[in-house]
Amino acid sequence: MATTPAQRTTVSIRGVITLTAHTHQTSPDGKTEGLTSQAKTSVISHAPGGNFLIPNIPYISMNSVRGLIRRAAGGVLMQELSRSKHLISRNLYLSIMRGSFSRTGINAGGASYQQLIAAQDNLFAGLWGGGSFMYESKVRGERDLFPMLECTKDLFPQRYQASCLNATPNQIIEKTLIASKDDFERLPQWDVIENVEQAYEEHMASKFGANQAKRDQKATAKADGVFLKDSEKLKTNDLNTFTQVEAIIPGVQLYFGMTVRDATDAQIGLLLAAVASWANRNALGGGAVRGRGSFTASLQLFQGGDVQVDQVLVGEAPGYTSSTGVEPYIAAMRAELEAAAEPAALSAVYPTDVAVKKAPKMKAKEVATSEA
């Protein structure tokens, strides 16, 4: 049962995410391109005795998942704004969806006591924080989404440990192929391209010319013993590309855990609605448009160590709905949503006056020089 509106409580959403497609999340490599084809991995200490390390455990970062769920919560506000035909500024939109519209701060200097209280009670700001005053968020991801294996089971609550797979990290990851085709090279079947013959010849000449130039540069550098930085390498516009990416195989289960503390029923309801929206979006990691990252979600709602609702979601993506067990929280959210989505209420907790830095005063000698 939901708590009374005047009360605040701490609840957790925990459970198992089962991958239904290859799933990958790559890591920045510090180079110009920014990404590698290697999956993001971690090293953990084996809990029993802690006397050895387990390397190369692939995972999905909670930071990325939390960001998606925050945006899903923002989407609930945006739907209400759209329904009521209200408009908001770009900066207010970014404060809600991204967390802040700017790094420059605001002229006010800091939140007043009244603003802090208003933000704490606000349906969205009280849950996710952020904004120019950088309110504290009540939502905490418990850990990254690690695969549930025998070697990692001590990371998870005991009730989920029986679901862990008897496999090693290298057995649940494989290289997959992402291939792109050059649709113009094969000629469009529709007669819709202006000057199609000339356009085709220019496209192919540019493509093969760039490819040859890249090969020549590579051969010259090799002959001269020169190492080319990524920023120095010639680029091509060849759309026929094949990329190998490491991915977690379908069927692997990942542990999901998220806690919200000292929240109202309405704020808990917004988080639950956002989790349902995220599950229906059904995309972990990258390559979702290519069928990567889909999953099923079996999530429970906890208060303390006790299960309050055994199934938070019912159905399957993209038709997940909130279960009757969490409906009191969803109802509390709906009761506050219209007022919380008023532009004036949002602007009060997320002010967007950009601080303008004054130019430093010039010394007398500098003034004389500039006037000369």
Which tens digit of pLDDT belongs to each residue from 33-64?
444 567 777 777 665 555 667 788 999 999 99
The H-or-E segment that residue 41 falls in is: strand 41-45
Of 324, 313, 302, 309, nearest to 276 by C-alpha is 313
For the chain, helix (H) and strand (E) counts, in that order, are 9, 11
Least confident window among 122-131, 144-153, 185-194: 185-194
> Is 288 contained in some domain?
yes
Instruction: Report H helices in the chain.
Output: 62-83, 90-97, 113-121, 125-128, 196-224, 265-281, 327-340, 343-349, 364-371
Same domain, yes or no: 13 and 149: yes
Q: Determine, yes or no, domain membership for 362.
A: no
Is residue 326 included in any domain, yes or no? yes
Same domain, 141 and 193: no
Q: Are 124 and 267 members of one domain?
A: yes
Q: Are residues 143 and 210 in the same domain?
A: no
pLDDT per residue over 148-193, tens digit each? 999 899 899 999 999 999 999 999 999 887 766 666 666 666 677 7
Digit-coded pLDDT (tens) for 219-258: 888 888 888 776 777 666 665 666 778 899 999 999 999 9
Tell me: pLDDT of 113 over 80.
Answer: no
Mean pLDDT rounded to a whole number for the chain: 82
Long-range contacts made by residues 202-205, C-beta under 8 angstroms, separation at least 24?
A: none
Which backbone phi and psi does 67 adopt, to 5 degrees?
Answer: -60, -40
Classify burial at 311, counting beta carbons within 10 Å of its beta carbon; exposed 0-12, middle 13-18, buried 19 or more: middle
Residue 25 exposed, middle or buried by CB count within 10 Å (0-12, 13-18, 19+): buried
Are both 107 and 54 inside the same structural domain? yes
Q: What is the pLDDT of residue 261?
A: 95
The span from the CA of 18 to the CA of 358, in Å, is: 54
In a domain, 93, yes or no: yes
Query: How many whole angstroms separate alpha carbon 73 and alpha carbon 128?
Result: 9
My answer on whether 164 and 271 are in the same domain is yes
For residue 146, tell me if it sits in a domain. Answer: yes
pLDDT band at 134 (very low <50, low <70, confident <90, very high): confident
Number of domains the chain contains: 2
* 315 Cβ contact list (under 8 Å, min separation 6): 321
CB-based burial of residue 350 (10 Å sphere; 0-12 exposed, 13-18 middle, 19+ buried)? buried
DSSP of 89-151: -HHHHHHHHTS-S-SS-BTT-S--HHHHHHHHHSTTHHHH-BTTTTBPPSEEE-S-B-B-BTT
Cα distances (angstroms) measured from residue 332 to each of 3, 263, 359: 10, 12, 49
Q: What is the pLDDT of residue 99?
A: 76
pTM, two decimal places: 0.78
Give 254's DSSP letter: E
Q: What residues form DSSP beta bridges with 141?
A: 258
Question: Could you tell me if 195 and 164 lie in one domain?
Answer: no
3-state secondary structure of 216: helix
In a domain, 356, yes or no: no
Whether the per-residue pLDDT at 294 is higher than 90: the answer is yes
Does one domain contain both 336 and 274?
yes
* Nearest CA-CA partner of 294 in 15, 21, 17: 21
Lowest-confidence range among 10-24, 57-71, 93-107? 93-107
One domain for residues 82 and 161: yes
Q: Could you tell me which of 311, 283, 270 has the C-alpha nearest to residue 139?
A: 270
Domain ranges, residue 198: 182-239
Residue 372 maps to a domain: no
- Per-residue pLDDT reduced to its tens digit, 329-364: 999 999 999 999 999 988 888 887 655 555 556 566
| Co-location of 59 and 127 in the same domain | yes
Place of tokens 């609840």: 11
313 and 194: one domain?
A: no
Note whether 66 and 156 are same-domain residues: yes
> Looking at the domain assignment, is residue 355 inside a domain?
no
